Amino acid sequence: MARIAVGADHAGFRLKDELAAYLRTSGHEVLDLGTNSPESVDYPDYGAAVARAIVAGEADLGLACCGTGLGIAMAVNKIYGGRGAPCHDVTSARLARAHNNANVICFGERLTGPEVAREALDMFLSTTFEGGRHARRVEKLTVLDREYDPR
Ligand code: RB5
């Protein structure tokens, strides 16, 4: 069983809540970082919060939802060590873990129904990183995280 940080904006919190309930039923520990209402909020705040929880060691993996799964994934990927993958199906979820060592699965509530999302989430949680040639590539992502900041 894993500790899963979950977060969403107003366009994704219903799917986040449904998946969080499913995770709890499945025996996982859920760290809910909000949002929890339809009041308009900004997805970067929630994607960053999920990634920070993982980097800080408070969670093993994360789930992040917005309208498309795209903006919140971009936010996850801005945090050093955050690897957010927008997933639309079981195959993208499996390869996000196996090849990219993604640590946050991202869904778009406007694009992906709850049943598909549940199955993809199950696959994400049960797949391990393959390492090998993929480890070198993921390490290069970490190097890019440290790239020169021109400001
Ligand atoms: C919010 O309206 C929407 O733009 C957001 O949830 C997300 O889809 C952005 O990527």
What per-residue confidence (pLDDT) applies to 117? 98
CATH of 3-147, one of 3.40.50.300, 3.10.520.10, 3.40.1400.10, 2.30.40.10: 3.40.1400.10
**What is the residue whose two structure tokens read 């979950």?**
6
Mean pLDDT per 10-residue section of the chain, whose length is 151 residues: 97 98 98 98 98 97 98 96 97 98 98 98 98 96 80 59
pTM: 0.96
The best mutation among 14, 39, 65, 66 to test binding of ligand 1, ranked by most ligand atoms within 8 Å of the C-beta, falls on 66
Dump pLDDT digits (tens) for 32-67: 999 999 999 999 999 999 999 999 999 999 999 999
Q: How far apart are CA 79 and CA 71, in angstroms?
A: 13
What per-residue confidence (pLDDT) applies to 149? 63
- Catalytic amino acids? 66, 99
> Exposed (0-12), middle (13-18) or buried (19+): which is 113, by Cβ within 10 Å?
exposed
Residues with CB under 6 A from ligand 1: 9, 11-12, 43, 66-68, 70-71
What per-residue confidence (pLDDT) applies to 146? 83
Please report, for the chain, the start and end positions of each structural domain, with discontinuous segments joined by +.
3-147
Closest protein CA for atom 3 of ligand 1: 67
Do 15 and 63 touch, CB atoms closer than 8 A? no
